[in-house]
Amino acid sequence: MILLALLLAAPAQTYAPQARQQHLEKVIGAVKRSGRDVLSQAYQYVAVYERGSCASSSERLRVECMMTAAKRFCQKRPATEAADCGLYLDMVVSNLLAEKRLVPTERRYEIMRRSREWRRDVGRELDRIQGELAVDFHLRHGDPKTDAQLARDVDAYCLKTPDATGMSWQVCASSLLWFVVAGSPPKEEQR
């Protein structure tokens, strides 16, 4: 009984290697099932919140607010997408949060100073960085045969990136999924 109580009291290891890989596999599946248009739409929806009501100096508040916005987006989607929506939105929200890490404020100012369409140029810079990451990943791991294999490879690769490039696991994983699996959907409405 005591042992059982202790086991129940122990915190769940929700980020154990197997749990991480399973989550990544589910996200890969959900992204593949949803179209680029849906991903683009989801991105634009959450981006509005990120720049508006979710803007905060506290990172924790910002993250929570964007997750709430993502859940709100999912509520508006058809019921058939309910299972996948939360998964691919995890990638979308992570990607939005990762943008400030990939293109730091100083670089963003630099782009803003020299470009009139700075948002488009920041997007290009992001594509360039994520593309470089994807090429490096591809050179190291080759073509994965299954989603499970890809998830394992992404997890293993992204565990090493903090030491090599200073990029956190979540920044690396969401960038790779966005670029490799989703094919970098457009982030702004086509004019």
Partner 1 sequence: MLGSKTLVTLFAAAAALLLTLTSGVLAPHRLATRGPHALLLAGIFGVLVGVLMFRFWRLGEASATYFRVARDGTLYENEGHFLGGPLTRLATGKNEGSAFDLGPTPQLFLCVGVALLVGLATIDARSLELLGKFTRNVAVNTASFCPEVEAKPAADDPNAPGCELVRRAFALGYAKDLGDCGVSKTRAAAAAVCTLRQRDEPFVHYAWRLLEHFGAGAARYFEPGYVSGLKSDFEKRMSRLDSINTAQREVLSSAPHSSHHVWVSLPDPGGTSLFGAGCEDRYRYLPHRPAPGDPAKAASQVFEHVLAQLLFESRYEPAAAYCREVVIHWGAPADACRQLAKDPEGFLAQSGALPHVRAVLDRWRLGNDLEQLGKQRSNRELPPQAFVSFSCWVEKPGAPGNPERWSAPVKLDGLDLAAEELTVAPLPPGAPLFVERYDEVATLLTRGFHYGALLSEAGLEGRGGEGLEPSFSTSDFAMSRLFGLEAVDIYLEPGWMAHRPDLLEVYPYQLHLKNYVKVFRGQYRRERGRL
Shortest Å, Cβ 114 to partner 1: 26
**Residue ranges with strand state E in the chain:** none
Does residue 162 belong to the site contacting partner 1 (CB under 8 A)?
A: yes
Shortest Å, Cβ 160 to partner 1: 9
Kindly indicate which of the ranges 32-40, 59-67, 116-124, 182-190 contains the residues binding partner 1, using the contact rule CB under 8 A: 59-67
For partner 1, what does the binding mask look like between residues 9 and 48, x meaning CB under 8 A?
Answer: --xxxxxxx-xx--x---x---------------------
Q: What count of residues does the chain have?
A: 191
Does residue 104 belong to the site contacting partner 1 (CB under 8 A)?
A: no
Site size toward partner 1, by CB under 8 A:
35
Give φ, ψ of 57 to 5 degrees. Answer: -80, -20
Q: Could you give the C-alpha distances from 66 to 52, 59, 95, 130, in angstroms and in order? A: 10, 11, 12, 22
Shortest Å, Cβ 13 to partner 1: 4
Q: Which residues contact 61 (CB under 8 A, 6 or more apart)?
A: 54
CA distance 58 to 65: 11
CA distance 51 to 69: 12
Does residue 59 belong to the site contacting partner 1 (CB under 8 A)?
A: yes
Does residue 67 belong to the site contacting partner 1 (CB under 8 A)?
A: yes
CA distance 19 to 25: 10
Kindly indicate which of the ranges 34-42, 57-65, 120-128, 143-151 contains the residues binding partner 1, using the contact rule CB under 8 A: 57-65
Does residue 63 belong to the site contacting partner 1 (CB under 8 A)?
A: yes
- Token readout for 188 is 């702004």
Q: Which residues contact 23 (CB under 8 A, 6 or more apart)?
A: 90
Shortest Å, Cβ 93 to partner 1: 4
Does residue 94 belong to the site contacting partner 1 (CB under 8 A)?
A: yes
Q: Residue 139 in 3-state DSSP?
A: helix
Using CB under 8 A, list all residues that contact partner 1. 11-17, 19-20, 23, 27, 58-60, 63-64, 66-67, 70, 86, 89-91, 93-94, 97, 159, 162-163, 166, 168-170, 173-174
